[in-house]
Amino acid sequence: MKIVVLGGDGFCGWPTSLHLSQQGHDVTIVDNLSRRAIDIELEVSSLTPIMPMGTRLRAWKEVSGKTIDFQLLDLAEDFEELRSLLRELRPDAIVHFGEQRAAPYSMRTPKAKRYTVDNNVRATHNVLAAVVAEGLDPAIVHLGTMGVYGYGWSGSAPIPEGYLSVKVPTPDGDLEREILHPANPGSVYHLTKTLDQLLFAFYAKNDGLRITDLHQGIVWGTQTPATSRDERLINRFDYDGDYGTVLNRFLMQAAIGHPLTVHGTGGQTRAFIHIRDTVRCVQMAIENPPAPGTRVSVFNQITETYRVVDLAKLVADLTGAEVAYLPNPRQEAEANDLVVTNDRFMALGREPTTLSEGLMEEVTEIAGKYRDRVDTSKIIARSVWRQGMETSPDLV
Amino acid sequence: MKIVVLGGDGFCGWPTSLHLSQQGHDVTIVDNLSRRAIDIELEVSSLTPIMPMGTRLRAWKEVSGKTIDFQLLDLAEDFEELRSLLRELRPDAIVHFGEQRAAPYSMRTPKAKRYTVDNNVRATHNVLAAVVAEGLDPAIVHLGTMGVYGYGWSGSAPIPEGYLSVKVPTPDGDLEREILHPANPGSVYHLTKTLDQLLFAFYAKNDGLRITDLHQGIVWGTQTPATSRDERLINRFDYDGDYGTVLNRFLMQAAIGHPLTVHGTGGQTRAFIHIRDTVRCVQMAIENPPAPGTRVSVFNQITETYRVVDLAKLVADLTGAEVAYLPNPRQEAEANDLVVTNDRFMALGREPTTLSEGLMEEVTEIAGKYRDRVDTSKIIARSVWRQGMETSPDLV
């Protein structure tokens, strides 16, 4: 298949691109390299030394014999270039990771809020409008987030995969309806993913586009079999307070002897998935698109759920690290339950990677190997949800 | 009160600005004049000879003694200028009409789709982000649309004012929840108003902004008491296939001897409101903002509902015009019922203007007076919802 990976330079996009290329697909990466630009803005770097795109692609060619093309293109701005590219390639599938993806960054400043909305909404809409304008019918696979649902909204009912069955009272009795699960985003970033859902629903209905939305949990891990093949292919590892994800941050903190930073009570329950599974799931989504004329296909791309405090204890027990309870810069419930349905997702035949000592040690080893690259002043999360909220000073 | 009217040069914005000024408020209009620019693009003009903003404001000063300020500013682009303006004025209320508002235009071309999304979403988000960044607490009143709900979704249950009560089945029995009515937009334009709803919900929750969303029906009529005071104050009257609204188009067509253009069966039921009521409703919304920390306040700003074919017959009976049934360029149900709740809206104490011969004649007279300005090649609606849909040739 000819596959375009939008945002193919990022934490999920890069290993997905390699995985799809490894599977024999003809992959073109489209990226504006904004994630690297934001590193410059935040004065922080990936813990792992990621290579420039040219080096990455040459290394991939060397180790695999396969060619991946790269187009430097801003999805939100360069609509005509995007159209030309699609016209030329006529891809069988488009994987869309091309969005600003950090909740804390999206709340950091007015400028970052605006960038997140302006970039993400326009990128998604431009992709849909370009596909329609060119009369194409690719499988479109988008990375959503579990955060569109919010937490603790539906009591003991598990969060469904996208669509919620409800009864609507009418004068003639209850009407059963399946609705898109009500949106309960917790940040501007999550908000943009709820906007994406409405864009997808409209273009599926009006234009018959075949779209899959993968509501992914928090990704952990760094490497996949493909990114491990050469050090120049190494995936990025974000440890800072804006882009770092919680479990990877704990493992990095343990590796450098920093207390594990639990912001708030740690009672937040979240869903998790390993990066190895992300890439396989995207592949399965591409191979199982919805039928034309049907609604958007939604999967909950998660493997297991944990309370943040339990994750911290797990890592502390494994490594002897201390746990530090810090002020929470987010506006969120102190604690929540989280029961999630992922039956459709599991039915695709995946054998999921669960949290295990061996895998966590792999991450800790990577963190240990590159520990000299850590800037400890970047560890504490300080992007506050509202002006004036308390944050912690550096711990070391 | 100090009031900023965003989009104060448009069909609803201009008479609202005059009405609020007339009431003694201190009004500043913000507009990028994009509606006039789109007239140039579409090679069509308002049936009524609207004056440049400078002339409008001088005429208003002459007849009322009141000053309205004007800032030429693009909400989607000029964020820092918007912030400066809000910092300087510290308005008590912001009325937000600053969006591309025609469904057919929003489906016309890839460029128009993109303009509608890029302009509307960014404009709304910039306003919210600017208010938060400046630490202000104005009453924010936004013009939404009845089109966010879709038509015929909830059977015999009336469409509620924004929030729908549903029962969510759980292992422990049904859970009652009030949710934002599921979004069922029928065009890219309507889609943007459903995106606005999610933006508003988030900023109300996270930042405590006080927001009212007025889901308005189709507006008819041209003049209000204020715009009638001087010909230089005349409101715009759109009759073309993209921007003209159905009843005004019928009245214009009757006035020039053109068949009344029913696109499709005419079985579409829609909600209507007179422009006189729009301006009063906005005033009432400003005077009755939601309490801080509460959810977005939603009103269904409509007076009555009609089937399109019944409206055509009404106008035909009144004027002797013929009715022409033309291909429908929209993808929509051939017919739908529409039962709408507007209790909260009516409780504000409005005495609504309903369809009456006298009022319709006023519009017909305006159309008759300016009939020489009609370009009959602009009457047929030809912006199609999907490529290849049939459209009608000119009838005269």
Which alpha helices (H) appear in A220-356, and where do they start and end? 246-256, 275-287, 308-319, 343-347
B170 and A157 within 8 Å at the Cβ level: the answer is: yes
Cα dihedral B372→B373→B377→B382 (10° resolution): -140
B384 reaches A (C-beta below 8 A): no
Q: What pTM value is reported for the model?
A: 0.97
Task: Find residues 292-351 of chain B whose CB sits inside 8 Å of chain A.
Answer: 331
The gap between the terminal CA atoms of chain A, to the nearest Å, is 50
Phi, psi values for residue B165, rounded to 5°: -85, 125
Tens of pLDDT, residue by residue over B260-301, are 999 999 999 999 999 999 999 999 999 999 998 999 999 999
DSSP letter at B344? H
A122 and B125 within 8 Å at the Cβ level: the answer is: no
Task: Find residues 180-199 of chain B whose CB sits inside 8 Å of chain A.
Answer: 180, 182-183, 185, 188, 191, 194-195, 198-199
Per CB-CB distance under 8 Å, the chain B contacts of A164 are 168
B206 and A386 within 8 Å at the Cβ level: the answer is: yes
Tens of pLDDT, residue by residue over A13-64, are 999 999 999 999 999 999 999 999 999 999 999 999 999 999 999 999 999 9
Q: Which of B118, B172, B182 sits opposite A180 (nearest CB)?
A: B182
Neighbours of A26 (CB within 10 A): 17
Q: What average pLDDT is seen over chain A?
A: 96
Which alpha helices (H) appear in chain A, and where do they start and end? 13-22, 34-42, 53-64, 79-89, 103-108, 110-133, 188-207, 246-256, 275-287, 308-319, 343-347, 357-369
Per CB-CB distance under 8 Å, the chain A contacts of B387 are 135
Q: Which residues pair with A299 in a beta bridge?
A: A214
Q: Give the C-alpha separation, B188 to B192, whole Å.
A: 6
A133 and B126 within 8 Å at the Cβ level: the answer is: no
Distance, in angstroms, between A182 CA and closest chain B CA?
Answer: 7
The predicted pLDDT at position B152 comes to: 82
Catalytic residue among A193, A194, A303, A319: A193
DSSP letter at A187? S
The predicted pLDDT at position B67 comes to: 98
Q: Give the C-alpha separation, B385 to B396, whole Å.
A: 24
The predicted pLDDT at position B40 comes to: 98
Q: Is residue B163 annotated as a catalytic residue, yes or no?
A: no
Q: For residues B9 and B34, is the Cβ–Cβ distance under 8 A?
A: no
Given pLDDT bands bounded at 50, 70 and 90, which one contains residue A233? very high
The predicted pLDDT at position A358 comes to: 80
Closest CA to A27 of A105, A87, A106, A93: A93
Q: Give the C-alpha separation, B253 to B197, whole Å.
A: 35
Q: Give the C-alpha separation, B183 to A201, whole Å.
A: 9
The predicted pLDDT at position B360 comes to: 85
Distance, in angstroms, between B190 CA and closest chain A CA?
Answer: 10
Q: Give the C-alpha separation, B185 to A201, whole Å.
A: 9
Catalytic residue among B145, B245, B319, B353: B145
Q: For residues A378 and A256, is the Cβ–Cβ distance under 8 A?
A: no
Closest CA to A345 of A285, A275, A271, A272: A285
Q: Give the C-alpha separation, A234 to A11, whole Å.
A: 10
The answer to whether residue A345 scores a pLDDT higher than 90 is no
B114 and A122 within 8 Å at the Cβ level: the answer is: yes
A148 reaches B (C-beta below 8 A): no
Neighbouring residues of A207: CB distance < 8 A, sequence distance ≥ 6: A128, A132, B386
Question: Tokens 């882009």 belong to which residue?
Answer: A243
Q: List the structure tokens of B226.
A: 């204020």
Catalytic residue among B105, B149, B189, B239: B189
Given pLDDT bands bounded at 50, 70 and 90, which one contains residue A168? very high
Catalytic residue among A189, A203, A243, A370: A189
The predicted pLDDT at position B356 comes to: 86
Neighbours of A396 (CB within 10 A): 10
Neighbours of A344 (CB within 10 A): 15
Q: List the structure tokens of A185.
A: 């985003």
The predicted pLDDT at position B14 comes to: 98
Distance, in angstroms, between A93 CA and closest chain B CA?
Answer: 21
Distance, in angstroms, between A311 CA and closest chain B CA?
Answer: 27
Residue type, B16: T
The predicted pLDDT at position B388 comes to: 95
Given pLDDT bands bounded at 50, 70 and 90, which one contains residue A121? very high
A110 and B198 within 8 Å at the Cβ level: the answer is: no
Q: Give the C-alpha separation, B222 to B251, whole Å.
A: 11
A175 and B154 within 8 Å at the Cβ level: the answer is: yes
The predicted pLDDT at position A232 comes to: 98
Q: How high is the ipTM of this complex?
A: 0.97
Question: Which of residues A63 and A363 earns the better pLDDT score?
Answer: A63
Task: Find residues 204-263 of chain B whose CB sits inside 8 Å of chain A.
Answer: 206-207
Phi, psi values for residue A243, rounded to 5°: -100, -20
Using alpha carbons, list the distances in angstroms from residue A237 to A46, A223, A376.
5, 9, 15
Q: Which of A121, A154, A177 sits opposite B121 (nearest CB)?
A: A121
The answer to whether residue A361 scores a pLDDT higher than 80 is yes
Distance, in angstroms, between B299 CA and closest chain A CA?
Answer: 20
Radius of gyration of chain A, Cα coordinates, nearest whole angstrom: 20
Given pLDDT bands bounded at 50, 70 and 90, which one contains residue A282? very high
- Please report, rounded to a whole number, the percentage of residues in chain A having pLDDT higher than 90: 92
Phi, psi values for residue A307, rounded to 5°: -80, 145
Q: Give the C-alpha separation, B3 to A374, whole Å.
A: 50
Given pLDDT bands bounded at 50, 70 and 90, which one contains residue A363? confident
Q: Is residue A189 annotated as a catalytic residue, yes or no?
A: yes
Average pLDDT over residues A182-206: 98
Phi, psi values for residue A53, rounded to 5°: -55, -40
Cα dihedral A175→A181→A184→A187 (10° resolution): -160
In this structure, chain A runs to a length of 396
Catalytic residue among B105, B115, B193, B243: B193
Given pLDDT bands bounded at 50, 70 and 90, which one contains residue A369? very high
Q: Give the C-alpha separation, A258 to A68, whole Å.
A: 39
Q: Which residues of chain B have pLDDT under 50?
A: none
